[in-house]
């Protein structure tokens, strides 16, 4: 009898729990929307984030729980209204001034210097028109008036000169493909057509092209969309070369972002603290989760490893294998820092310049620099004070211990060592390290 009574009460209990959970979700939704709408002035970024987050949650639950479709439809409509308002603000903010003449319609005032600046970063005419809030025909007319043409911004390099430059880029980044090479060329002030870049790479690096094609994979990712620059920054640290103590604190202006996403590593605690202090709590200022939810920066680390750090890891690992490098020896690590660190820093700087100028397939072949400039024009973000934070708090939280490498040489010996490195600057990193290591050993034995 008790068992039969329990079976009858079980469906009623489940129904009550579901209704209770639904009531809590709706109450949470109302509270978050009231909080977003009560901000003065209205924070559209936070409202957009809230609408998207709640809509994703209700759409996911509606596949498993009977949720009134009116709630989902209402959230979709609210999200559309918020996005329309943001787009309207962008258009009204980007419209250029007009000048009234004696006859005819008012004339749009477009400065020649501004138009040249947009053409120099290789933005297409229709995109320039969108940024300025005018038609493409208006931009074309101003280009004719100022005697400007998109073709005049292409570089006049011979094939031989282009091949030499591409060869230098491939020396910096052996695994770089078409887009990274084109981006590096752009960062060097060289703007050439796609067909010329492809032809040059086939002449210079035909085997590398075949190697990349055979190892190419296809990963389907969800469409990525944020309001604009500084809306969301992804943050992470890279410890691939920490075995050789090639890890330095960085100063990064992430606090200018409205939101930051990171993993749950304790080295990120200080960034989260600063974001909550500067941008406030209860608005998603810092989003933490697993590394698989931080795909954008994990994908960037893949490019950094492929183009830059992998060759240094292989070189240092080979030195260890050949018993020419002992990671427990401060003298060996000091020699590593003197020889590898400047080259690593230069290659990373070259990678940054190439990445900022490489075309993005999913963004109509616009570069990150072009997207940054366009987004800054359309959607400027208020900048708080004290934008930079130093990522030098590894030891404080016990996450990563980076030992200091003291210089074992006196001032005179260090000066001689630096002169020796300067005189042999064209030597490859391995032989340069062995030369430095030999000098350090002989100098210490002479003391």
Hey, what are 409's tokens?
Answer: 């040489």
Last residue of a domain, one of 41, 64, 87: 87
Give residue 183's pLDDT: 93
- Based on the fold, state whether residues 181 and 271 are members of the same structural domain: no
Backbone angles phi, psi at 121, to 5 degrees: -95, 15
Q: What is the pLDDT of residues 18-69, one digit of tens each?
A: 667 677 778 888 888 887 787 777 777 778 878 887 887 788 777 777 778 8
Give residue 395's pLDDT: 45
Residue 378 lies inside a defined structural domain of this protein: yes
- Based on the fold, state whether residues 208 and 243 are members of the same structural domain: no
- Based on the fold, state whether residues 259 and 341 are members of the same structural domain: yes
- Based on the fold, state whether residues 264 and 305 are members of the same structural domain: yes
Question: Considering its fold, how many domains does the chain have in total?
Answer: 3
pLDDT lower than 50: segments of the chain: 1-3, 5, 7-8, 10, 14, 94, 389-398
Q: What is the pLDDT of residues 90-133, one digit of tens each?
A: 555 545 666 676 666 777 888 888 899 888 888 888 888 888 88
Give residue 53's pLDDT: 78
Give residue 224's pLDDT: 64
Domain hosting 379: range is 232-398
Give residue 281's pLDDT: 81
Residue 118 lies inside a defined structural domain of this protein: no
Q: What percent of the chain has pLDDT over 70?
A: 79
- Based on the fold, state whether residues 211 and 236 are members of the same structural domain: no
What pTM value is reported for the model? 0.71
Q: What is the pLDDT of residues 391-407, one digit of tens each?
A: 444 444 445 566 678 88
Last residue of a domain, one of 87, 113, 133: 87
Last residue of a domain, one of 380, 398, 416: 398
- Based on the fold, state whether residues 354 and 268 are members of the same structural domain: yes
- Based on the fold, state whether residues 251 and 358 are members of the same structural domain: yes
């Amino acid at each position: 009898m008790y068992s039969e009574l329990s079976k009858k009460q079980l469906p009623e209990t489940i129904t009550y729990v579901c209704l209770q959970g639904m009531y809590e979700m709706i109450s949470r939704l109302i509270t978050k929307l009231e909080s977003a709408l009560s901000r003065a002035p209205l924070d559209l970024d936070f409202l957009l984030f809230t609408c998207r987050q709640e809509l994703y949650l209700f759409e996911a639950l509606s596949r498993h729980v009977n949720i009134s479709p009116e709630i989902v439809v209402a959230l979709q409509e609210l999200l559309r209204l918020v996005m329309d308002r943001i787009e309207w603000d962008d258009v009204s903010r980007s419209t250029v001034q007009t000048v009234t003449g004696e006859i005819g319609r008012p004339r749009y005032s477009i400065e020649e210097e501004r138009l040249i600046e947009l053409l120099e970063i290789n933005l297409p005419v229709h995109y320039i028109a969108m940024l300025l809030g005018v038609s493409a025909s208006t931009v074309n007319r101003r280009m004719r008036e100022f005697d400007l043409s998109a073709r005049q911004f292409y570089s006049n390099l011979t094939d031989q000169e282009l091949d030499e430059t591409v060869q230098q880029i491939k020396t910096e980044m052996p695994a770089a493909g078409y887009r990274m090479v084109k981006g590096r060329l752009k960062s060097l002030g060289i703007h050439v057509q796609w067909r010329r870049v492809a032809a040059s790479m086939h002449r210079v690096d035909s085997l590398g092209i075949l190697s990349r094609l055979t190892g190419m994979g296809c990963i389907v990712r969800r469409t990525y969309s944020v309001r604009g620059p500084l809306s969301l920054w992804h943050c992470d640290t890279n410890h691939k070369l920490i075995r050789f103590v090639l890890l330095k604190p960085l100063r990064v202006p992430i606090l200018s972002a409205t939101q930051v996403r990171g993993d749950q590593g304790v080295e990120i605690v200080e960034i989260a603290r600063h974001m909550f202090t500067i941008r406030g709590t209860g608005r998603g200022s810092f989003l933490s989760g697993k590394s698989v939810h931080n795909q954008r920066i994990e994908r960037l680390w893949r490019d950094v490893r492929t183009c830059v750090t992998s060759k240094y890891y292989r070189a240092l690992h080979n030195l260890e294998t050949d018993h020419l490098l002992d990671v427990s020896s401060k003298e060996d690590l000091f020699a590593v820092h003197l020889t590898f660190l400047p080259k690593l820093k230069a290659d990373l700087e070259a990678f940054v310049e190439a990445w900022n100028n490489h075309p993005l397939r999913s963004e109509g072949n616009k570069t990150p620099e072009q997207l940054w400039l366009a987004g800054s024009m359309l959607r400027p973000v208020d900048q708080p004070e004290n934008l930079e934070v130093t990522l030098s708090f590894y030891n404080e939280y016990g996450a990563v211990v980076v030992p200091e490498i003291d210089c074992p040489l006196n001032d005179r010996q260090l000066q001689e060592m630096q002169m020796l490195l300067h005189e042999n600057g064209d030597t490859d990193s391995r032989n340069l390290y062995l030369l430095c290591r030999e000098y350090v050993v002989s100098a210490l034995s002479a003391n």
